[in-house]
Amino acid sequence: MPLREQLQSTLGDGYVVGRELGGGGMSRVFLAEEVRLGRTVVVKVLAPELAGAISAERFEREIRVAASLQQANIVPLLTAGDTAGLPYFTMPYVEGQSLRTRLASGGTLSIGECVSVMRDVARALGYAHEHGVVHRDIKPDNVLLSRGAAEVTDFGIAKALDAARLPQDSHTLTQVGSSIGTPAYMSPEQAAGDPELDHRADIYALGVLAYEMLASGPPFAGTPQAVMAAQVSAAPPPIARDDVPPALRRIVMKCLAKDPAHRYQSADELLGEIEAVATTSGTLQSTIRARRGRVLAWAGAAAGILALAWVGTGTMRHQRWVRGEAIPRIKQHAELAHYDSAWMLMRQVQEVAPK
């Protein structure tokens, strides 16, 4: 039976499984509609060779920690289960594109765009690290750009895979590449197979991400083996871009320090440096104004569109909450530049809106 049909059978009437979105070596990805809530979700099903190398029960247990993360720049995990022996998990569908797609489309990201993405990812990492979750696979594919903000997906998945692997299949898991991350974004301690790596590996990966946005490519290229060797022993080339502020260059290079002790010791410390650059250089001012405009435009349009959509539906309680409380609060958050709070409320409005 095709995987899509197996998945539909497992999920039952609660979901309508749609088209396959693709995937990579780790999983296959499907779009689905959650019937009861009327929302679109993404279902990721682990690849057979990966599923055979782990304990499905342990994997599901491990990702429960990640499922508790609730922050505006983190795409949350919703549910998890098993279909035909293949573990799966679901997440909200995020409209927009991945940072990988944005980088591949050509054109250079402005300094303001780069700093904005760095800031949002640092916020996500800071929250997750405070709750004991290390991502281990920060890369452009796992950063989604939506409505002027960046959201990080797949939090806790690499860690869960590593913790759930069966001893006799550790080589298989490493071959697939999910136990330690993606070579181009791996910290030196990840590349060296250090079992004691911590949250500072994510800070290194964010440094690679920032370098790639600014320099139109990661610091090291080549075969996976060559890249991993370079992560351990080679210095990253200088960023050959004239408009990068010196303070921003220093931030990126500090993230890329070989020794974790020489990096930022927390994502919050890094975030403070990023925000200082944004404030002193003015690189984010146009981005902030544009983001405020997008939020206010969304709130204004939503008020009118939802008023029409709710005609005759009988959902007066939701309508009163959206028009009387949510929309005014979204506008207030936008005026105060509290975009995390604004996006969270916007997501809640979309959850209750008629489909």
Closest CA to 297 of 149, 151, 147: 147
- pTM for this one? 0.77
Question: How does strand 86-92 pair with strand 143-146?
Answer: unpaired
- Which class would CATH give 3-92? alpha beta
What are the DSSP calls for 53-67, one per residue? TB-HHHHHHHHHHHH
Which residues are bridge partners to 33 per DSSP? 16, 40
Alpha-carbon gap, residue 28 to 47, rounded angstroms: 7
Per domain, the residue ranges of the chain are 3-92, 97-284, 286-352
Alpha-carbon gap, residue 251 to 264, rounded angstroms: 9
Residue 189 contacts residue 172 (beta carbons within 8 Å):
no
Q: Which tokens belong to 168? A: 């006799």
Alpha-carbon gap, residue 90 to 96, rounded angstroms: 18
Kind plus residue range of the DSSP H or E element containing 130:
helix 111-130
Digitized pLDDT (tens) for each residue of the chain, 355 residues in all: 788 888 888 888 889 999 998 766 678 899 999 988 888 999 998 888 778 888 888 888 888 888 889 999 999 999 888 887 888 899 999 988 999 999 998 777 889 889 999 999 999 999 999 999 999 999 999 999 988 899 999 998 888 888 888 775 555 444 444 445 789 999 999 999 888 899 999 999 999 999 999 999 999 999 999 999 999 999 999 999 988 999 999 999 999 999 999 999 999 999 999 999 887 665 455 555 566 666 666 666 665 555 555 555 545 666 677 767 777 777 766 665 555 566 666 767 766 666 5
> Taking the domain 97-284, which CATH number applies?
1.10.510.10
Catalytic residues: 137
Mapped onto helix, strand or coil, the DSSP state of residue 235 is coil
Kind plus residue range of the DSSP H or E element containing 48:
helix 48-51
Residue 210 contacts residue 251 (beta carbons within 8 Å):
yes
Alpha-carbon gap, residue 174 to 49, rounded angstroms: 11
Question: How does strand 15-23 pair with strand 149-152?
Answer: unpaired
- Residue 41 phi/psi, 5-degree rounding, is -130, 165
Amino acid at 241: R
Question: How does strand 39-46 pair with strand 86-92?
Answer: antiparallel
**What pLDDT does residue 308 have?**
53
**What pLDDT does residue 173 have?**
47
Q: Which tokens belong to 70? A: 């609730």
Alpha-carbon gap, residue 302 to 298, rounded angstroms: 6
